[in-house]
Amino acid sequence: MEAEANSGSLEDSWAFIQRPGEGCRTVPLAGHVGFDSLPDQLVNKSVSQGFCFNILCVGETGLGKSTLMDTLFNTKFEGEPATHTQPGVQLRSNTYDLQESNVGLKLTIVSTVGFGDQINKEDSYKPIVEFIDAQFEAYLQEELKIRRVLHAYHDSRIHACLYFIAPTGHSLKSLDLVTMKKLDSKVNIIPIIAKSDAISKSELTKFKIKITSELVSNGVQIYQFPTDDESVAEINGTMNAHLPFAVIGSTEELKIGNKMMKARQYPWGTVQVENEAHCDFVKLREMLIRVNMEDLREQTHSRHYELYRRCKLEEMGFQDTDPDSKPFSLQETYEAKRNEFLGELQKKEEEMRQMFVQRVKEKEAELKEAEKELHEKFDRLKKLHQDEKKKLEDKKKSLDDEVNAFKQRKTAAELLQSQSSQAGGSQTLKRDKEKKNNPWLCTE
Ligand SMILES: Nc1nc2c(ncn2[C@@H]2O[C@H](COP(=O)(O)OP(=O)(O)O)[C@@H](O)[C@H]2O)c(=O)[nH]1
Ligand SMILES: [Mg+2]
């Protein structure tokens, strides 16, 4: 009896394992169990861990990026205003710890510096793309580690890209279109018309339509506020129609009526940042922070990072199935990639060896040639030296001959001289003798 019961329950569980879902029955609970607290547990855990949110502000220098961030988060983030003299585009990233009620937020604001300031703007999008990819790569590396600490990892992937459009009232600049096109598969782009107090109400409506149609005709995918969740579908649907938001930034508080409000004051009047009749700042804050912050984080992970990860792993040779549609084993992929790598390494080694041998041969030939030239030069010099030597010897010989002849002549001359002086000497002696004997003899 017991064995029967056991075999029955085993079959049931087999049935469940083999056909998931089919063997599942809904059973009523007789009393409170407590797993309805799971969402609360999740919330508590998330709150204790804290959240992180990363915003990238892309736009020309002076369009009000820093001011808008200060306005959005109701604080003054430090930072010097950027100059227009940057030789290229750079990204400046700052992370801040913010606290609201009991929720902690690690906020990273990345801003383009020097964007739109160069004469040649062809490559201006590149540093931005590289930055976004670098954050994906860092996350992927962390995921691929054997010992992962993802819960403590500071996720630097960009969750939202606020693209600042200049309030020209004309159309998008080609720099904007190119940049947005390059970024749209990597990040959630929210286009905004910056400094919208510079554009009139009627122009603004036309400008928004123009921008939207240009984005569509160029196939630029901007972030759409999600409408699949019923609780936010209506507001998000309405807000999607207001894109791109026309915003104004200001940290200056002015007394309007009996309230202090963020505003910009002009000689002809005051524009209120948080007045929906004046600009879309409130809409942006509502959509970016209060309603869709989690969706932006989620989309970043499930869409943009997933795409990066997939492309990267495929590039590295990983696949889900092999050509026969069988699941691809990680081990096999690793082996295949390793063999491919070793093969390439061997090929490279062989190429380098060949190159080395070739270079040695060339050097040898060069040295031989130099040696030959040296020998020839030596022979030439030797011959020259011998000729010189012979000439000198000949000259010496002729000089020796001359010296000998001279000596002979000299000896002969001396002999002659001595003979003649002898003869002269005996006559003088004779005369002296005669003078002695006869002092009166005059010799002169
Ligand atoms: N008219 C107007 N000026 C603004 C607005 N936002 C910022 N500014 C001014 O524009 C200048 C540059 O702003 P900044 O935030 O430093 O621009 P960034 O270089 O893009 O960060 C400052 O003088 C701001 O006061 C705006 O919405 N309207
Ligand atoms: Mg700035």
pLDDT of residue 3: 42
Query: For the segment 384-412, what is each residue's pLDDT rounded down to a tens digit?
Result: 999 999 999 999 999 999 999 999 999 99
Average pLDDT score, the chain: 87
Mean pLDDT of the 259-277 span: 89
Least confident of 15-24, 106-115, 283-292, 315-324: 15-24
Report the DSSP beta bridge partners of residue 245: 192
Q: Each residue of 307-362: pLDDT tens digit? A: 999 999 888 777 777 666 666 677 777 787 788 889 999 999 999 999 999 999 99
Please report the pLDDT score of residue 156 as a whole number. 94
- 119 C-alpha to ligand 1 centroid (Å): 22
Query: Which alpha helices (DSSP H) does 184-304 contain, by range?
Result: 201-217, 230-240, 281-285, 293-299
pLDDT of the residue at 20: 54
Higher pLDDT, 441 or 303: 303
- pLDDT category of residue 137 using cuts at 50, 70 and 90: very high
Residues 144, 131, 71, 167, CA torsion sign: negative
* pLDDT at residue 152 greater than cutoff 90: no
The model scores a pTM over 0.95:
no
Ligand 2 (single-atom ion) residues, CB below 5 Å: 65-66
Give the ligand at the shortest distance from the Cα of 63.
1
Q: Identify the burial level of 15 via C-beta atoms within 10 angstroms of its C-beta, where 0-12 means exposed, 13-18 middle and 19 or more buried.
A: exposed
pLDDT at 148 (0 to 100): 86
Q: Which residue has the tokens 């040639």?
A: 369
81 lines ligand 1 (CB under 6 A): yes
Question: What string of DSSP letters covers 398-421?
Answer: HHHHHHHHHHHHHHHHHHHHHHHH
Proportion of the chain above pLDDT 90, given as a percent: 57
What is the predicted pLDDT for the residue at 249?
A: 93
Looking at residue 130, its pLDDT comes to: 95
- Rg of the chain in Å (alpha carbons): 51
pLDDT at 8 over 50: no
Contact assessment for residue 172 and residue 214, using Cβ atoms and an 8 Å cutoff: yes
Q: pLDDT confidence of 12, banded at 50, 70, 90? A: very low
Which of 257, 170, 183 shows the shortest CA–CA distance to 214? Answer: 170
Span 28-40, pLDDT tens digits: 898 899 999 999 9
Q: Comparing 333 with 173, which gets the higher pLDDT?
A: 173
Q: Does residue 22 have a pLDDT over 80?
A: no
Decide: 195 in ligand 1 pocket, CB within 6 A: yes
Check pLDDT > 90 for residue 132: yes
At residue 118 the predicted structure's pLDDT band, cuts being 50, 70 and 90, is confident
Q: How many CB atoms lie within 10 A of CB 134?
A: 13
Ligand 1 within 6 A of CB of 159: no
Q: 103 or 121: which carries more pLDDT confidence?
A: 103
Residues 128 and 151: their CA atoms lie apart, in Å, by: 27
C-alpha of residue 196 to centroid of ligand 2, in Å: 17
pLDDT at 203 over 70: yes
Does the pLDDT of residue 86 top 80, yes or no?
no
CB-based contacts of 435: which residues, under 8 Å, 6+ apart? 441, 443
Say which range, 273-282, 313-322, 362-371, has the weakest mean pLDDT: 313-322
Which listed ligand is nearest to 164 at the C-alpha? 1
Range picked from 78-87, 162-171, 265-274, 359-368 for highest mean pLDDT: 359-368
Helical pair 201-217 and 174-183, crossing angle rounded to 10 deg: 50
Kindly give, in sequence order, each residue whose CB lies less than 8 Å from that of residue 249, ignoring residues fewer than 6 positions away.
64, 67, 68, 70, 71, 194, 195, 273, 281
